[in-house]
Structure 1
Amino acid sequence: MGLALVGVTLVTLVLFIFLIITKRQIDLLKNVKKQEDRERRHRLSKSLSSLKWGLAVSLVVVVITGSLALFGGRTAKEIYLEHTHGLGFSSDGKRILIPAHDGLKAYEQGRWFTPEGAKHDYMGFSPVDEGFYSSGHPAPDSNLNNPFGIVKSLDEGKTLQSLALDGETDFHNMAVGYISHVIYAYNPQPNSQMNKPGLFYSKNEGKTWTNSNIEGVSEEPTTIAVHPSEASIVAIGTPTGVYLSKDFGNRFEKVMSVGQNTSLFFNITGELFIGGFQDGAYLVKMDLKNNKTEQLTIPALTEDAVAYFAQNAIDDDQMAFTTFKNDVYYSIDKGVSWTKIADQGKSISYKDEEGK
């Protein structure tokens, strides 16, 4: 985008010079009488004709270059969400970020685009206040080790910092505290830092890990969510309910048993959002102080459910969720109304949408 802006500036400068020269040439033509110096008049006419063509070409270049500067890399023509693996808002609250099978996708002010950076296959995608953490696999043309282990990005995927277990483990079930940055990961098999499968957490970005006892849970977790600031509070979902721990995952209490849990998310104030399925998809908000739940209205989902949910930490009016069929919905009024921005993976852009 920087080079395109430089191009616009240079072409605009050339256009300005053309305008000055043209004005002078026109003034000269006006001062040449018909009966005087016909040859000079003819030469000036040819010069003016050339300048007019130059002006036309310059205008075209300015329009094209300016369009590239404004919209280059941000059109929705070829955006397709294949196998979405997470959801979140950018640290500045301006964009929805969705990791797909072929890299990170973003939605901002009614438009989909692909951010800069390699098209990595992110898993366990966890946005935080200063970027995101993730696991997964590198892009086919990347020189990074496969799998990632755990990585961190401060620039929405342009660059990645390897934190732990590089080339060893791919964590599908992982969550990170939005402010605390404590990492919880369900380990699928032993590795150099985790001697067995199970739930582990790290308070120092993966340098050391502690195994949680997960007492009270007999099923393997399908979803994990971490309180934004209280590192000891973690929730896990299973095919039969939702469990909550306040002691780093050592002891869990079942707090909801309505059907199958499909999605968990802690917002910035510590409220727990629970997506699930029982005779249809549902989304509820839970107050951890008393475990009371509030049903949220979502669009009717046919044989589908909420796969990932997120609320904007900068503007809590904004919410978004994806489904297992790769539909994406976006709300700017705390879920009172929803706009469908992707249909079975195919992006939908709203060019006139102002957003918030």
Structure 2
Amino acid sequence: MKKQEYRKQTQIWKRRAKGFKWTWIALLLAAIITVVISLQGPGSNTVMLTHIHGLGYSGDGQRILIPSHYGLKIYAQGEWTHGQGEEHDYMGFTAVDNGFYSSGHPAQGSNKKNPFGLLKSTDDGLSLDFLDLYGEIDFHLMSASYETHTIYVFNPEPNTRLKTVGLYYTKDEAETWVKSEMIGINEVPGALAVHPTNDSILAIGTKNGLYVSEDAGNQFVKIADMQVTSLAFGAENELFVGSFNEKGEMYRMDIGLKQLTEVNLPDLTEDAITYISQNPMTRNELVFSTVKMNVYVSTDRGSNWKQIVSQGESV
């Protein structure tokens, strides 16, 4: 090979070697980035919750659904994933056997109207079915019967469908609404829960009392003088009550006997329960969240608790 041709070929080899080197570095960086994304994205053990706006179980009892300020977060078998679709700010979230009902506000950059009114999703938020009052109202206080899907809302202001402030319910996904009389309550509700199978039974909590109605919210009976922070019906004719009295407390009440029994809890000094849910398939399993954005799970009806979120960060 002539000297001139040799020099030319050597320069080509050097360029190729240099290109191979940078290609290898680029591939290595891409692999590192992929690992980092996989650790932080869906299927990760890490999640941050800036707010907690509800709590519930999927219909098969396998997943805990937690709506946050930035979309739906899902916990199952020690792993965290993100709900489908955009990261909307769901409010008034309530899980049912085939999905969830909610209200709230659209994610930043979304083309959805604000506020949401009443919506339903059966695919973890991938698709949203706006049932009523889309773009008109945000229901912060809402609950639905887990099996019958009767929905109760506390309407905060008059709108095109609900003409006065107060408690309303619908049995046909907002085709028609009925106003409840709320006789026996002179306070603004702070917590609301509907029985999973008998949708005429519901409970309301206020700063000063626990109330139960057995006629779709027309007449309420005061059960206890207490500050109620959260409510949830269980499958075995039980009502779980979150309360605050110097620290966060939880009680279990038999609907028929109207007797309250305190549930063992972790130390909730200067904290209080915001949401409670019972697993519909494994009734010994309970989950609750707190004001300080802690989340605990029990698999033995509250005898022992495992913390899965601490101050908004997954444990």
TM-score, normalisation: structure 1? 0.77
Per the alignment, in what secondary structure is the counterpart of residue 249 of structure 2?
A: strand
Q: Give the RMSD, CA atoms, in angstroms.
A: 2.3
Range with bigger deviation, 109-118 or 65-74: 65-74
SS of the counterpart of 2:62? coil
**Which structure has the bigger radius of gyration?**
1
Residues of 2 paired with 1:129 and 1:181: CA distance? 9
Q: Select which of 217, 220, 224 maps to 2:192.
A: 224
Deviation at 1:312, TM superposition (A): 0.3
**Alpha-carbon shift at residue 144 of structure 1 (Å):** 1.5
Which amino acid in structure 2 is aligned with residue 74 of structure 1? Answer: G
Of 39, 44, 56, 1:75 maps to: 44
Contact 1:173 1:223 in 2 (8 A): yes
The equivalent of 1:11 in structure 2 is none
Show the counterpart of 1:269: 236
Pick one of 299, 310, 314 that aligns with 2:277.
310
1:70 Cα deviation (Å)? Answer: 11
8 A contact 1:193–1:208 mirrored in 2: no
- In 2, distance between residues paired with 1:104 and 1:70? 18
Q: Partners in 1 of 2:133 and 2:36 — Cα distance? A: 43
AA aligned to 1:302 is T
Assess if the C-alpha contact under 8 Å between 1:228 and 1:270 holds in 2: no
Structure 2 residue corresponding to 1:330, chosen from 297, 306, 313: 297
Distance in 2 separating the partners of 1:140 and 1:225 = 30
Q: How does 1:141-290 map to 2 (within 5 A)?
A: 141-257=109-225, 259-290=226-257
Q: Choose which of 13, 31, 52 in structure 2 pairs with 1:84.
A: 52
> CA contact under 8 A between 2:39 and 2:45: conserved in structure 1?
no
Q: Distance in 2 between matches of 1:333 and 1:141?
A: 43
Superposition pairs of residues 87-106 of structure 1, within 5 angstroms: 87-106=55-74
Give a deviation string over 1:96-125, Cα, whole Å, max 9, x none: 111000111111111222122210100110
In structure 1, the residue corresponding to 2:275 is in which secondary structure? strand
**Amino acid in the other structure paired with 2:126:** K
* Aligned residue identity for 2:284: D
Closer, same or farther in 2 for the Cα pair 1:84/1:65, shift >3 Å?
Answer: closer
* Matches of 1:72 and 1:149, distance apart in 2: 30
SS in 2 for 1:106: strand
Q: How many residues align?
A: 288
Distance 1:206 1:213 in 2: 19
Q: Distance in 1 between matches of 2:266 and 2:294?
A: 11
Q: Which amino acid counterpart does residue 102 of structure 1 have in structure 2?
A: Y
Q: How far apart are the structure 1 equivalents of 2:200 and 2:141?
A: 17
Runs of 4+ in 1 over 3 A off after TM superposition: 64-72
CA deviation vs aligned residue, 1:208-234 (integer Å, no higher than 9, x gap): 111111010000100100011112111
C-alpha separation in 1, matches of 2:162 and 2:195? 23
Q: Which residue identity is paired with 1:164?
A: D
Task: Tell me, in whole angstroms, the C-alpha distance in 1 between the residues paired with 2:53 and 2:127.
Answer: 19
Matched letter for residue 184 of structure 1: Y
Cα deviation for residue 242 of structure 1 reads 0.7
SS at match of 2:91: strand
More helix by share: 1
Residue 116 of structure 2 is aligned to residue 132 of structure 1 = no
Letter of the structure 1 residue corresponding to residue 259 of structure 2: K
Q: Tell whether 2:288 aligns with 1:343.
A: no
In 2, Cα distance between the equivalents of 1:329 and 1:109? 14
Deviation at 1:67, TM superposition (A): 11
One-letter amino acid of the counterpart of residue 70, structure 2: D
CA–CA separation in structure 1 for the residues paired with 2:40 and 2:137: 38
What stretches of structure 1 of length at least 5 have no aligned partner? 1-60, 349-356
Aligned equivalent of 1:7 = none
Maintained 8 Å contact 2:153/2:169? yes
Corresponding letter in the other structure for 2:152: Y
> Paired residue for 2:24?
none
- 1:68 Cα offset (Å): 8.9
Structure 1 counterpart of 2:268: 301
Look up the SS of the partner of 1:336 in the other structure: coil
